[in-house]
Structure 1
Amino acid sequence: MLQTLREKTSGWIATVVMGLLIIPFAFVGVNEYMSGGPATSVATVKAPPRWWTSAPAWWPVSMAWQHEDISVQDFQMALRNERQSQQAQQGEAFDARQFDAIDNKRKVLEDLIDRKVVELAARRSGVAVSDEALREAIAADPSFQVNGKFDGATYSALLRQQGLTPTTYQQRLREDMTIALVPQGLAQAEFVTDKEFEQVVSAIFETRDVTLAMLPRPAPDTAPVTDAQAQAWYQAHRSDFRKPEQVSVEYVEVDASKLPPPAVDEAELRKRYEADKGRFSTEQRLASHILIPLAAGADAAAQQAAEAQAARLAEQARAPGADFAALARAHSKDPGSAANGGELGWVSRGTMVGPFEDALFAIAKPGDVVGPIRTEFGYHVIRLNQIKGQAGKSFEEVREQLANEANREAATRHYNDIAGKLVSATLDNPDSLAAAAQAAGLQVQKAGPFSARTAPGLLANPAVLRNVFDEQQVADRTASPLIKIDDTHSLIVRVTDHSPAQDQPLQAVKEQVIAAVRADRAEKAAAARADAIVARVNKGEGLKAIADAETLQSVQIPALPRGAPLPSQKGNAALFALPAPAKGKVAVGKVKLEDGTLVVFTVDKINPGDASKMPETQREQFRQQLAQVYASADVQDYVTRTRKQFKVDVHEDRL
């Protein structure tokens, strides 16, 4: 049988067939085999080999290209961070649907791609961050400092709050610093020539001598409006007179401030006090330590070796005349404190990991050394240097504070319980809120009809409006998800009736149409008067003389600076948008201000900014700011040019 198989698979025909089978396997099967399954990246940045920068991207040459993936997890984390940032900035105006739009997701991804491009380019150029630079960056971070000095306890506490180990944090920081080195280098190399500086100062610090004439608001138009005029206006502006979309709703509100206050349990307060007694202590301890790190999952031999090394160092530190700082600098592997002789700064209870803190606060007197102490980071040798502060306050002294905290927590739990019952009940019966309200012990409230502009009270919240005017919600007439107003205030709402936006007949809105026609005629009359004044100035009359003759309010402003709110922000922008006047003439224009006032103005003289008249400190500061602007443009140009050298594949279906 084997001989027969061998005969059948030999010869040139079999070779051709096998070759044809190998090709698709090479493109599909091998890649799938090597990658261990389907790809999980949203984008891949591909760079040609450094020894062949012009290498083509087609197979098999592409196999020599360097690949860097942006994982789905990294993208989702960046998207989550951006969402939190925008929510904090926009508050109630934040629109989740707009944020989740594909264009916005692509923008977040583009930022990640730019970051990956810079990181890859830096590594390919041999850019690296030394351990010393990393330690200096950690020590210089104000977040980790107390009274302007690095504090190891604060460092450890902040990392724990973020769910990071020192190793993970240092790896991320090293990556961030590596990415920043190239832009920093470009920024430091940037400079501004004297000619560039003078040109920018001339434009930015330019002032203008101007004359302003304010036209009074036009008198109300009382002339008759014919039926034909009303009909023509109505037809041209039909959308202005549409009846807006309206809804009627029922809703159930959950507000912690309106729920029955929880009772204070004395035994619970005492238990809380005992469990958190250290929080009410002002005692702080100045400590130093030596860290012998231990990798997660280290075997017994590695643990014994690390513990033995820490024990030897502890014995040396206890010896008379021992220099603990020198031992720490020589042997400690804590990047945040080793260079400072192991000094951690002042440590309070609750800021360090449990075993370390327990050992430190158990030391009897300054100068004593304990160890080895095992924590999640490895083995520590700890020296107490100094004690300050007092022991904790008594229960009676902090009872009111504990009661307030307990009440707030109980109120939050009660709120969460009620909200949970409400949500569960609406999931069981989404077509009505009556049963859900009864299950949660709340009342159903009704409102409407109202439009998005006339929504009353709580229902005017942007999140509520987005829900009740959602097309699907209107069609289904089912209960909404729980809409949060704040952390302890929310509601569930259901649309009970809906009327779409619709045209109204002319007769129903005729008075509004007549008012609109008259307002338009008055506005056009005012604009015509302003145009007439502009025409007179263009013929050679002075604006001030015209204003005086027509009893218009006017003012002459010398050296008006760019950006000043005169006559308003919009007015100032119009004044500086006007081209410079010809020699011996003025430039004239008009602008309608934010409040509807018409202003005719002339630019009488241009006063260029003069760098030589700037104080030395201001001149130097502005030069630095200008260099930063140029550097920012250089960095963006660098990223754009570098991206063109790489190939970026984006998987839109994974966004």
Structure 2
Amino acid sequence: MLENIREKSQGVTAKVILGLVILTFAFAGIGSYTNSVDTSVAQVNDMKITQSDFDKAYQNQRNRMAQQFGEMFDTLSADANYMANFRSSVLENLINEKLIDFATAELAIRVSDERIKQTIREMPEFQVDGKFDNNRYLALINQAGFYQTSDFRDYLRVEMTRRQLNQALIASEFSLPYEEAQLTGLQNQKRDIRFAQISAEQFKASVEVTEQDINDYYQNNQNRFQNQEKVKVNYIALSVDDIADKVEVTAADLEQYYQQNIAKYQQNEQKRFSHILIEIGDDEAAAKAQITDILTKANSGEDFAVLAEEFSADTFSGENGGDLEWIEPGVMDDAFDEAAFALSSVGSISDVVQTDFGFHIIKLTELKPEQIKDFAEVKDEIQQLVSTQKAEDKFFELQQEMARLSFEFPDSLEDAAGAVGGKVQTSDWLTRFGNTAPFDNAKVLDAAFSDIVVKERLNSDIIEVNDSLALVLRTNEYQAANTKPLAEVSEQIKTMLIAEKATEKAQNIAQELLTAFKAGEDVTAQLAAVNASFEVKNDIARFGAELDNNIAKEAFKLPHPVEGTLSASTVTMNNGDLALLEVSAVKEGEPATNSNFAQQHSQQLAQATYKSFIDALRDQAKITRREVVQSSEQF
């Protein structure tokens, strides 16, 4: 069927229809088809969280997890339930952020422009040799997707506003000495116990499992014995890296690139300024008179740095003689920039300049002329750039050819492989999750298990795995999901049932022993009958590795022993055995105070306060969630 569609899509009628559709879009506008579609994944009050917002947050969080946990996260991401919870967590975090934004607006929390500028200049990411570097700043924010400095400033303003509220909540919490004493006393508590371990293994020999038991378990638990759907594919891989190895780059190519991109290799003229600021306050005339007087002194030869230290309202720069370091256009106020960059000789001083901050006089203190790197100095770098650029251009060209031929000849990959100089390869068996790259990519897996590949047995459309890798694939072999036959899993089920029944018998015996023990009977003989005896452990700690974790946990759950009443219970151990446990004594721990514990406790209280605050905001807000589209898996 699909092959017929492919053939008919080349006909005159199909082309006429396609032309009409294109004209419809041209006259009506694509926006009229899309603007009415709500693609948001959630709405908090009147503010929407778009699919794009979600995709960006999802990918950022996924990248952080992959960086932190490495291959372990690859394993986790193969679990559909885990990734569903992961997506839900990302969405809830975005909702929390919107709630915080509403709260900061209601509380009128603001961050000034000056504070944002100062923060940017002090961020170590934007510094070179301990000083703010505007070129590095612009390069890094562009790399992060902020193509206008105003976009980054707006982003930073939101983040700093949220942080102010967060810090205000955290700073309000503290830990009292008596709380620390109580908690450390509990943590340092010790207990004396005795326990008897009843092995379930000894009962396995006496357990009977019938064929009917096995069959019943199989029928009731068939979901536990599923073979996953899997496919083996033939594929062509087109890679920029492979193309780059074969690309020829001439000396003329390098020279041409250098000349066309000379701006990349030149350092613009740089200027360093000092300034003196007088704030206007309530008396503009007085401020103007003061700055004019200072300007007269500076022009008459008095030390500008001394004047700045004495008079400048910008105390930070004033302490350094008014030094503002190296400044690029656009960092300061427009009026300031205009006056400052009009200065052309070192030592020259501007007239009085008025900005929103007050009156300034500006001095040019250092000047670095424009510099251009020689071609020889950057030749190797250009070689790499040109080689990659040519490879990417060839990659795009071959990608189009591979797409065309795999479509026109849908029953084979050989024609497409020959045209792009590739070869047809065969994958290992692929399942829906847990494959190695590039078959861990969601787009590749969607194609591998699609009807056109599996059922129609045709070539897939071209799959752009990333900017440097494209695939086309077709089915080599397919195995549908199915339930393993009973004969294959019979022994496995028998082993499971024997273990379950042996553990159940051990539980019953342990419960009988506990009843007799609490009634005051001596159970030594009964324990010996099941190859067990009491083992005494004194001064066990709440946290430690000397005991089975389940025994230690239960020991600290049991009540303090009192005269006439036993504090005892049964425990299922980590290895599946049962234990009869008694707490014979409780020794109170010594309370202790230390700065680390106090800090940790305060942090725990702060986290609880923050969560309560968010919960309260959620209760007051109208929150609507929609299905999260899983396109985010395709990054």
Same fold per TM (> 0.5)? Answer: yes
1:143 aligns with 125
SS class of match (1:88): helix
2:541 aligns with 560
| Aligned partner of 1:618 among 582, 596, 603 | 596
Question: Does 2:273 match 1:288?
Answer: yes
Q: CA deviation at 1:621?
A: 1.8
> Judging changes above 3 Å, is the alpha-carbon distance between structure 1 residues 514 and 84 closer, same or farther for their aligned structure 2 residues?
closer
Structure 2: runs of 5 or more not aligned? 1-34, 67-73, 278-293, 333-339, 352-360, 630-635
2:221 aligns with 237
Letter in 2 for 1:120: A
State the distance in 1 between where 2:495 and 2:43 align: 62
| Aligned partner of 1:82 among 57, 64, 67 | 57
SS class of match (2:50): helix
* Conserved 8 A contact 1:41-1:70: no
SS class of match (2:103): helix
1:513 aligns with 490
1:189 aligns with 172
Question: Does 2:247 match 1:262?
Answer: yes
Question: Does 2:235 match 1:251?
Answer: yes
State the distance in 1 between where 2:529 and 2:506 align: 15
Instruction: Summarize the alignment of residues 417-566 of structure 1 with structure 2, pairs less than 5 Å apart.
Output: 417-426=397-406, 432-446=412-426, 452=432, 459=439, 464-469=444-449, 474-475=454-455, 477-480=457-460, 483=463, 488-495=468-475, 498-503=478-483, 505-506=485-486, 508-509=487-488, 512-526=489-503, 528-529=505-506, 532=509, 536=513, 539=517, 550=531, 556=537, 558-562=539-543
> Judging changes above 3 Å, is the alpha-carbon distance between structure 1 residues 393 and 164 closer, same or farther for their aligned structure 2 residues?
closer
The two structures have a TM-score, normalised by structure 2, of 0.62
Q: CA deviation at 1:82?
A: 0.9
Q: CA deviation at 1:244?
A: 3.8
* Conserved 8 A contact 1:245-1:499: yes
* Conserved 8 A contact 1:285-1:347: yes
Letter in 1 for 2:607: V
State the distance in 2 between where 1:408 and 1:547 align: 77
Greater displacement, 138-147 / 553-562: 553-562
Q: CA deviation at 1:252?
A: 1.9
> Judging changes above 3 Å, is the alpha-carbon distance between structure 1 residues 614 and 119 closer, same or farther for their aligned structure 2 residues?
closer
* Conserved 8 A contact 1:153-1:347: no
2:355 aligns with none
> Judging changes above 3 Å, is the alpha-carbon distance between structure 1 residues 480 and 116 closer, same or farther for their aligned structure 2 residues?
farther
SS class of match (1:287): strand
Q: CA deviation at 1:517?
A: 0.7
2:356 aligns with none
SS class of match (2:613): helix
Instruction: Summarize the alignment of residues 89-128 of structure 1 with structure 2, pairs less than 5 Å apart.
Output: 89=64, 91=66, 92=74, 107=92, 110-111=95-96, 113-123=98-108, 127-128=109-110
Q: CA deviation at 1:185?
A: 3.1
State the distance in 2 between where 1:332 and 1:478 align: 75
SS class of match (1:436): helix
User: What is the CA deviation profile of residues 259-278 of structure 1, one whole-angstrom value per residue up to 9, with x for unaligned ones?
Assistant: 54433433444566678899
The two structures have a TM-score, normalised by structure 1, of 0.61
User: What is the CA deviation profile of residues 503-528 of structure 1, one whole-angstrom value per residue up to 9, with x for unaligned ones?
Assistant: 4554x53xx30342134214532553
* Conserved 8 A contact 1:225-1:514: no
User: What is the CA deviation profile of residues 543-568 of structure 1, one whole-angstrom value per residue up to 9, with x for unaligned ones?
Assistant: 9x969994899894844344x56667
Letter in 2 for 1:492: V
* Conserved 8 A contact 2:249-2:387: yes
Structure 1: runs of 5 or more not aligned? 1-36, 47-68, 293-312, 353-359, 372-379
Residue correspondences, number: 541
Q: CA deviation at 1:84?
A: 1.8
State the distance in 1 between where 2:119 and 2:547 align: 49
SS class of match (1:518): helix
* Conserved 8 A contact 1:210-1:557: yes
State the distance in 2 between where 1:329 and 1:481 align: 72
Question: Does 2:368 match 1:383?
Answer: no
* Conserved 8 A contact 1:581-1:587: no
State the distance in 2 between where 1:252 and 1:465 align: 15
1:582 aligns with 561
Q: CA deviation at 1:649?
A: 7.8
> In percent, how many aligned pairs have the same letter?
19
Q: CA deviation at 1:79?
A: 1.6
CA RMSD of aligned residues (A): 6.0
* Conserved 8 A contact 1:151-1:345: no
User: What is the CA deviation profile of residues 314-367 of structure 1, one whole-angstrom value per residue up to 9, with x for unaligned ones?
Assistant: 99988855637978999999x99899777554689xx99xxxxxxx99x99975
State the distance in 2 between where 1:173 and 1:141 align: 12
> Judging changes above 3 Å, is the alpha-carbon distance between structure 1 residues 211 and 222 closer, same or farther for their aligned structure 2 residues?
closer
SS class of match (2:107): helix
Letter in 2 for 1:635: F
Greater displacement, 223-232 / 440-449: 223-232
Instruction: Summarize the alignment of residues 321-360 of structure 1 with structure 2, pairs less than 5 Å apart.
Output: 321=302, 323=304, 343=323, 345=325
SS class of match (1:441): coil
State the distance in 2 between where 1:414 and 1:336 align: 54
> Judging changes above 3 Å, is the alpha-carbon distance between structure 1 residues 445 and 370 closer, same or farther for their aligned structure 2 residues?
farther
Q: CA deviation at 1:114?
A: 1.0
